[in-house]
Amino acid sequence: MTESKPAVDPADLAFIRERRVGHLATADEDGAPSVVPVCYALIEDVGGATIVTPLDAKPKTVDWRSLRRVRNIAARPKVSFVVDDYVEDWSRLAWVLVRGRARLVEPATPPHADAVAALRAKYPQYRAMPLDDLPVIAIEPRAIRSWRFGGAAGASARPGGPELAALVRGRRSVRAFRADPVPRPIVERAIEAAGWAPSPHGRQPWRFAVVEAPERRAALAGAMAATWREQLNLDGQDAAIVQHRLNQSRERLHTAPVLIVPCLYLSDLDRYPDAGRQAAEEIMAIQSLGAAVQNLLLSLYAGGVDGGWMCAPLFCPEVVRDALGLAPELIPHALIAVGYAARDPVRRPRLPLEQLIVSWE
């Protein structure tokens, strides 16, 4: 009889998913404990969640077969796995403890391929490591406990400030991409994160079109080319410069493995009898679309990929809509090229804090 996986509080699952380091506790046949920090990822499906951690190529003093955790799991499959937040602000202390059974998953054995993909999506360092030929450790949860300072188990905890600051400052605008495919779950999680942005009256006036097939990306670039050329010519630039910039923009659409087109969707907005308030309602919708795109970009970066925000659809929404076969009520506002950076972009300096704050009374 197969033992079913426990129901998991979504807040606990999110806490585990978003952290970068866990601690795996095993014991040998005599009960002697061992705890090691590990990188890990979650594989989630209709059957529940599985925690996977690799036997990777980071420097070790012994062969992976001789690692204590591997030998301990062979002797005693029962393990514990902990992720936690410690910050000096004790109102934000939190941990989640998973007790379960661990096993080695050999290459070509499910869910090995999914585990490697999830680990590479979460940790860019793993993309250059030979994980495909090494087993991974899979932990099947049997019991989950959590604690938050000042709250009951399962209560939501805010992510730590340092992690959020690093995410916000680390995000960059990339214009050159490698051809490596982007795992679909990364894109789905980013769009889901966009859906949590604030919006006027909670109407969520945005929808997203995903363009992945090479022929569709090429068709979109071709459809927008004439408008791009016309607008660049209006700048009065030399014809050679216009052609160069046009080629760069088209190349980005051809090489980025995924394109996301955020669209303004006004059909569900509140309606007012006067033009002034209705115009303000639409401006609020546009503002909230920007917040949704920022959520999207931060989630992509947290998932190990980069994005480049292009505003071209603003200047030819009908062309983009027709090229993608979108419904008439969708107004394309941006184009987010998504993929792995081919090179580090040049980052523009940011205004210092004293220039950003114009009044504080």
Tens of pLDDT, residue by residue, the chain (361 residues):
445 566 677 788 888 988 889 999 999 999 999 999 999 999 887 667 899 999 976 666 667 888 999 999 999 999 999 999 887 777 778 899 999 999 999 999 999 999 998 898 888 888 888 898 899 999 999 999 998 765 544 334 444 555 677 788 888 999 999 988 998 888 999 999 999 999 999 999 999 999 999 999 999 998 988 888 887 777 777 888 878 888 888 888 889 999 999 999 999 999 999 999 999 999 999 999 999 999 999 999 888 889 999 998 998 999 999 999 999 999 999 999 999 988 888 888 888 999 999 999 9
| Model confidence, pTM | 0.61
- Order across the sheet with 136-148: list the strands: 33-38, 22-27, 78-85, 94-105, 136-148, 48-54, 41-45
pLDDT at site 153? 41
What stretches of 109-195 show up as alpha helix (H) in DSSP? 112-122, 161-170, 184-194
Beta strand 48-54 pairing with 78-85: unpaired
Q: What is the model's pLDDT at position 150? A: 55
Nearest by Cα to 257 from 319, 324, 308, 192: 308
- Note the pLDDT of residue 68: 92
Domains observed in the chain: 10-162 (2.30.110.10), 171-339 (3.40.109.10)
Provide the pLDDT for residue 241: 83
Beta bridge partners of 140: 101
Q: Nearest 10 degrees: CA dihedral of 43, 44, 45, 50?
A: 60
C-alpha angle 40-101-18 in degrees, rounded to nearest 5: 25
pLDDT at residue 287, rounded to an integer: 97
Least Cα distance to 337 among 224, 227, 249, 265 occurs for 249
End-to-end Cα distance, the chain = 67
**What's the pLDDT score for residue 156?**
41
Structure confidence at residue 46 (pLDDT): 60
Provide the pLDDT for residue 152: 43
Q: Rounded to the nearest 5 degrees, what angle is found at the Cα of 306, between the Cα atoms of 305 and 310?
A: 145
The pLDDT of residue 34: 96
Hunting for tokens 């994980």 — which residue is that?
131
How far apart are the C-alpha atoms of 152 and 93, rounded to whole Å? 12
- Which residue matches tokens 């659409």? 253
**Alpha-carbon distance 292 to 299, whole Å?**
11
